[in-house]
Structure 1
């Protein structure tokens, strides 16, 4: 018997970078095989959203958090923040197409607490319009550690609102309780689904003498790109493909190009086929951001990562993956041409680990939601 298509409401807000939106879209791609998905998103947007069957999306007026003052600000508007919150509420009201079979919220209540009013308002309307439909949360495996009272509030919100917490991660690499001390209190709702990464390729190209150096979607990481460009002359047999942030200005790119002192370096501002480039690369050098690491692992590419000091989550993930030999960390001291040259040669000559990592998170979330909506129980 052919089951009817479902309708799912998905809420994802990025306050920095694009990682949360990118992994949400990988999940939505899987869900779209059996459900029409309405996505409400905000923060930094993608230049082009995917076209999928039954997929609609609403980009809310952007509100970000100023890291210096910890206050909200609107990068694209002069209106007072209160006005923007009201505009967002109206936009959501006009966009939603009731009723839904399920709701998915990315990260909340483990993060996005500053958007709590908007999110809980949405949950209240869902209950009013759709009754007790399941609300799912999906969250990365490492949290920025929070005080106990904050963790207690998160537990309370999970118990009040969330049917299942899908953890994007592999418990053999890192466990949720390592950064969330009250995990035992929500253990009955917690499911590890594997990392959310693009599916591995159908056929593998041959590795070439190419090193892909990437900054990721944010503003940080120029130090790493500069170090790689200056090291390239010591490795004339390798072609260095240096990828700046897609938001880098023309002057920033020109600044990097001015540093190039050997013919084996190419500086580009964006790579459409990042994963394909990694598949044929001898090495990846990056900041070890969430999405880049997933690309590196799913393509089984030897990797060096220079963790951004402001983000303990990335540092811990790199440390855990380094413990298994999937990636090797760089420190500030390694960013001289002499040291980086040695690190590059050592990493390329390492034997790649045999262990497989669970990276099928998007398909696994989709499978479990489908089973639950059809009234079944999931086999673990």
Structure 2
């Protein structure tokens, strides 16, 4: 009997939960396809991610020191020291040895997560010394963050050329191509494979229907959006039914304050497992422009008002939102312009528009990732150690 192919999947979320949610969808699809998957996470725990039927190694959690991702902190907000980093590194390397994988997937790295080089460079060294050496892939969203610091793009290129066999771009090239946000994409074109967007499955019929569904992703940076949504609901006709989903990372004190201030036509939740279903029954989604939320919106065919996250010089969400606006699929409200009055006005405008016709984008990226990995493993089932 042929053994299952083993996958070692590293994902580190630092602020929101988007990276973790996308990686979890991919990991579950790999398991459905017959891979034996171990997911290694390094952020604060999020219920339901990864799925409970997957093998899971939870490293001591770290989070972003601030919205600009300028440092690492532990769960209590204290900066991490060298001893903490060494403990994480050793645990990661031991987990790799235990798994003995056929495939290693790095979520975002080396195109992101540079803060984690203290453990990822030793892992790459260990991989290169392995014999047989596992297939090494990076898992990327379709639009990358612009890099303004000199030498960063060249550093990414060098790492991909030295250590990675495959660059999995989780997007539809009809919507966004890697070369549009990474200047050296042509130099690694032979490693690039587009998987399609990693959207969830078609949602079930909604158990509840709302006119306006406001969501803040993980909730770590969504306080302003939820607060503005709460006040905007008071400015518009009370017949409109609102649902506000704060995200699991919103501090409890803030959640309690919002709950006590919510009018009768506003339903407040920290998390909704049936979020995708709620989208399919909503007249309008109001959210940031993160990858996973946008995928869910497109899958549900829901009208949307997007408020791109731009703190710390982030550009990825703005780029995505602008493309969707150009296609007539969304309205865009700049993050700096959020006030209850402006939000109420834009919600009213979007509700008055006809429901958008969704383009035929490929949304099956999770399942297609599994198919692509199998194809690449068949090309080179045994990869000798590069250090041999």
The TM-score, its normalising length taken from structure 2, stands at: 0.87
For 1:264-293, what per-residue CA distance to the aligned partner results, in whole angstroms no more than 9, with x for missing partners?
112222222111111111111112222222
Question: 1:36 Cα deviation (Å)?
Answer: 0.6
Corresponding residue of 1:92:
92
Question: 1:365 Cα deviation (Å)?
Answer: 0.8
Bigger relative contact order, structure 1 or 2 (CA pairs below 8 A, ≥6 apart):
2
Deviates more, 1:331-340 or 1:127-136: 331-340
* Residues 283 and 65 (structure 1), Cα distance of their counterparts in 2 relative to 1, 3 Å cut: closer
Is the contact made by 2:4 and 2:35 (CA closer than 8 Å) also made in structure 1? yes
Distance 2:79 2:252 in 1: 29
Question: 1:296 Cα deviation (Å)?
Answer: 1.2
Distance 1:49 1:351 in 2: 32
Is the contact made by 1:18 and 1:45 (CA closer than 8 Å) also made in structure 2? no
* Residues 205 and 112 (structure 1), Cα distance of their counterparts in 2 relative to 1, 3 Å cut: closer
Deviates more, 1:31-40 or 1:324-333: 324-333
Corresponding residue of 1:343:
346
Corresponding residue of 1:230:
231
For 1:175-234, what per-residue CA distance to the aligned partner results, in whole angstroms no more than 9, with x for missing partners?
222221111111121122122121123x65599453111112132233322332233242
Is the contact made by 2:141 and 2:291 (CA closer than 8 Å) also made in structure 1? no
Corresponding residue of 1:19:
18
Question: 1:157 Cα deviation (Å)?
Answer: 0.8
For 1:125-177, what per-residue CA distance to the aligned partner results, in whole angstroms no more than 9, with x for missing partners?
22333433310111112222224521111111111111110112222222222
- Within 5 Å, which residues of 2 pair with 1:245-256? 245-256=247-258
Is the contact made by 1:73 and 1:81 (CA closer than 8 Å) also made in structure 2? no
Tell me whether 1:313 sits opposite 2:316 in the alignment.
yes
Distance 1:327 1:40 in 2: 35
Corresponding residue of 1:36:
36
Is the contact made by 1:101 and 1:133 (CA closer than 8 Å) also made in structure 2? yes
Corresponding residue of 1:243:
245
Is the contact made by 1:9 and 1:102 (CA closer than 8 Å) also made in structure 2? yes
- Within 5 Å, which residues of 2 pair with 1:77-116? 81-96=81-96, 97-116=98-117
**SS at 1:124's partner residue?**
helix
Question: 1:246 Cα deviation (Å)?
Answer: 1.6
CA RMSD, aligned part only? 2.7
Deviates more, 1:65-74 or 1:174-183: 65-74
Distance 1:367 1:114 in 2: 31
Tell me whether 1:169 sits opposite 2:188 in the alignment.
no
Corresponding residue of 2:303:
302
The TM-score, its normalising length taken from structure 1, stands at: 0.89
Distance 2:220 2:180 in 1: 29
- Within 5 Å, which residues of 2 pair with 1:139-158? 139-146=140-147, 147-158=149-160
**SS at 1:374's partner residue?**
helix
* Residues 282 and 160 (structure 1), Cα distance of their counterparts in 2 relative to 1, 3 Å cut: same
Tell me whether 1:60 sits opposite 2:64 in the alignment.
no
Distance 1:331 1:99 in 2: 46
Is the contact made by 1:173 and 1:321 (CA closer than 8 Å) also made in structure 2? no
Distance 1:376 1:188 in 2: 15
Corresponding residue of 2:385:
none
Structure 1, unmatched stretches of 5+, are: none
